[in-house]
Amino acid sequence: MIIQKTSALIVVDVQNGFIDGNLAVLGSKKIIPTINDLIDRFDNVILTQDYHPANHISFYQNHQNRKAFDVITLDYGEQILWNSHCVQGTSDADFHRDLQATKAQLIIRKGFHANIDSYSAFMEADRQTKTGLAGYLRERKITDLYIVGIATDFCVAWTALDAVDFGFSCTVVLDACMAIDVNDSLAQAKETMIAQGVQFSDSKNLF
């Protein structure tokens, strides 16, 4: 058994908006049973939740003459524009009803600043604004992180890369993730994660 008391499961953005809502990722609903099985097996569970204001800078609707997946340049670098999704106070932002969310000890809300996007559970896209997750994990003597959820090539990857940067051992559980894969983003994300020391596994190999 690999999972220890010093291990934590981070469940990334298993929300209506990414499953059957405004930014649905094809096939993402089928990973929920695997995620629920992992939640049952971990003592330490953290959820992340995309939680945007309606005027968020990443929504193409908030930019003239733009469409989804266009790339613009902001003060902190390049920004992909998305369809409006996971807006605060809407059902699109809620966790999917099939997710066993009640076991989570902590929920990290991301993207609630209107002028900064946020993929990672650790740090927003400006690479300065921290969420406090690293400190939370260290206070609880967590050293090994297992990351699942949506999307492999964006929020999962950014979370995994930051986990390594903050000094944690990090494994992405591939059969409990689903990718958007726009413009070869999945292959690029995997290459970057491998180069930075992120490990990959399937759920059946964790126990």
User: Which residues are tagged catalytic?
Assistant: 13, 110, 155
CA distance 85 to 111: 11
Give the whole-angstrom CA distance, residue 115 versus residue 79.
11
- Taking the C-alpha atoms of residue 75 and residue 171, their distance in angstroms, rounded to an integer, is 31
For residues 49-62, b (16+ Cβ closer than 10 Å) or e, as one string? bbbbeeebbbbbee
Peptide bond into 151 cis (omega under 30): yes
Q: Phi and psi of 8, rounded to 5°?
A: -140, 145
Coil vs helix vs strand at 37: helix
